[in-house]
Amino acid sequence: MPQFNTLAQVRANPPAFLRALFDAAVAAADPMLCVPRALGPRPEGRVVVVGAGKASARMAEAVESVWGPCEGLVITRYGYGRPTEGIEIVEAAHPVPDQAGVEATQRMLTLLRDLDPEDTVIALISGGGSALLCAPAGEITLAEKQAVNQALLASGATIDRMNVLRKHLSCVKGGQLAAVAYPARMRALLISDVPGDDPAFIASGPTVGDASCAGQAKEIVAKYHIDVPPSVRAVLDGPRRVIAPDDLRLSHVTTQVIAAPSQSLAAAAQVARAAGVAVRHLGDALEGEARDLAAQQARLALSIKDAGGGPVVLLSGGECTVTQGRLGEGALGGPNAEYSLGALLNLAQAPGIWAIACDTDGVDGAAEVAGAWVGPDSLKLAETLGLNATQALAHHDSHGFFGMLDQQITSGPTLTNVNDFRALLVL
């Protein structure tokens, strides 16, 4: 990728500049950088490493780069595995869990049972762990868990509400993983992909106590019209499963967030300022419908342009949602591409404004695409190709639209996950 040291270089290739900002954000959250800083000396005695998430294999690799071979097991997304010497890496499905994740989770729980107070567990947790750590509660089958998860993903519910329901349907979330490891000491190292960086919501908080109740989970089912089978109703009507924050079994757990969206946005801002572009932070924890946030931020960019306020880049992070309505045949979209499509329509070919939106894990929704970029000529190009941007947005077919436009951002597995990255460039 080209280097951007002057404003002239930015003006010569705005899309590449935006991609450079995204790459800087991803690089800042590389577990090979943030894990070694957090580890310290290897503890005496037995050390067991467990974990789950899109960054977990890279985190395990980082642990062994400092401490040498360790025993343990982590679960990551298909294609996100890394070479390790002692820690076993298991790949499973995300965002909808599969049998590989179920079997690996059971093996992890077995590994944690019967540990002693002198033993140390290192828990490596990152976004995506909620689907990858799969241990359905009660009589809930994997197929039923998959159906509930798919309904949640399509509902438009925010990640914190999704995770409340997920915790109450699980034998591992909401502090239950840590409870199994008691009385061993546990150090939980977390890479945050949730607005606000609350450890209780990162991967549904497998090492963190939770004060929610089943009644709140039922309210989420009702609010988002989630169709659940009798087995799910039975679990929600049964005894509480999540672990209370003051439970004795969590007394040996320490938790540290070692990478977060704010750090990645700061890294992108540093690249922008080095090239002579001013930076305006819009927040690292923004939520809401992707198209609505796109409209709001596009209006802000247009007002800055009209006032002659450039060159400036508007940076933001967080996690947008897409509430699926009518889908076209073969439609495929994700919140970042949908944001870009919404920005395209709201900017309406305004000169001097470009935008990019990507997921820092390299996967937008269920597509193996990080996101997309748009510029002043994108809408005209789409019309030339016979593409209808308004229709694509209505049918949530943003990835199909940008694939035809050749404006997708494809990064491959980034091996980290600090949520969405968005930038609007006003020149």
Mean pLDDT of 170-182: 97
314 and 205 inside one domain:
no
How many angstroms separate the Cα of 340 from the Cα of each of 220, 269, 303, 315, 379?
29, 20, 18, 14, 12
For residues 286 and 345, membership in a common domain is answered with yes
The three-class DSSP label of residue 373 is: strand
CATH of the domain at 349: 3.40.1480.10
Whether residue 198 sits in one domain with residue 124: yes
Q: DSSP strand E in 128-252: where?
A: 185-191
User: Can you give the CATH number for the domain in which 116 is found?
Assistant: 3.40.50.10180
Q: Does the structure show a pLDDT above 60 at 149? A: yes
In a domain, 251, yes or no: no
Q: What would the pLDDT profile of 315-372 be if each residue is shown by its tens digit?
A: 999 999 888 754 444 557 799 999 999 999 999 999 999 999 999 999 998 789 999 9
Strand partners, 74: 51, 89
In a domain, 2, yes or no: no
How many domains does the structure of the chain reveal? 2
Chosen domain end from 213, 245, 277: 245
Residue 105's domain comprises 40-245
Same domain, 238 and 329: no
Neighbouring C-alpha atoms within 13 Å toward the C-beta of 110: 7
**Strand positions, DSSP E, 93-152:** 120-126
> Can you give the pLDDT at residue 308?
92
Give the chain's end-to-end CA distance (angstroms, integer).
21
The predicted pLDDT at position 325 comes to 59
Tokens standing for residue 270: 């540093």
In this structure, the answer to whether residues 100 and 141 fall within a common structural domain is yes
Q: Does the pTM of the predicted model rise above 0.85?
A: yes
Q: Are residues 182 and 288 in the same domain?
A: no
Q: Write the pLDDT tens digit of every residue in 11-61.
A: 999 999 999 999 999 999 999 999 999 999 999 999 999 999 999 999 999
Tell me if 32 is assigned to some domain.
Answer: no
What digits encode the pLDDT tens for the residues 231-271? 999 999 999 999 999 999 999 999 999 999 999 999 999 99
Domain co-membership, 292 together with 382: yes
Q: 138 and 268, same structural domain?
A: no
Q: Chain centroid to CA 99: how far?
A: 22
Confidence of residue 157 (pLDDT cuts 50, 70, 90): confident
**217 plus 164 within the same structural domain:** yes
Task: Tell me whether residue 1 is in a domain.
Answer: no
Which one of 212, 245, 278 terminates a domain?
A: 245
Q: For residue range 63-104, what is the model confidence (pLDDT) as tens digits?
A: 999 999 999 999 999 999 999 999 999 999 998 999 999 999
* DSSP strand pairing (371-374 vs 408-409): antiparallel
Question: Do residues 387 and 275 both lie within one domain?
Answer: yes
Q: Where are the alpha helices (DSSP H) in 321-409?
A: 335-347, 378-384, 389-394, 398-405
Same domain, 288 and 414: yes
- Confirm if 340 and 374 have CB atoms less than 8 A apart: yes
Nearest to 54 by CA among 101, 106, 94, 98: 94
Q: Which two tokens stand for residue 409?
A: 């951002």
Q: Is the same domain home to 99 and 221?
A: yes
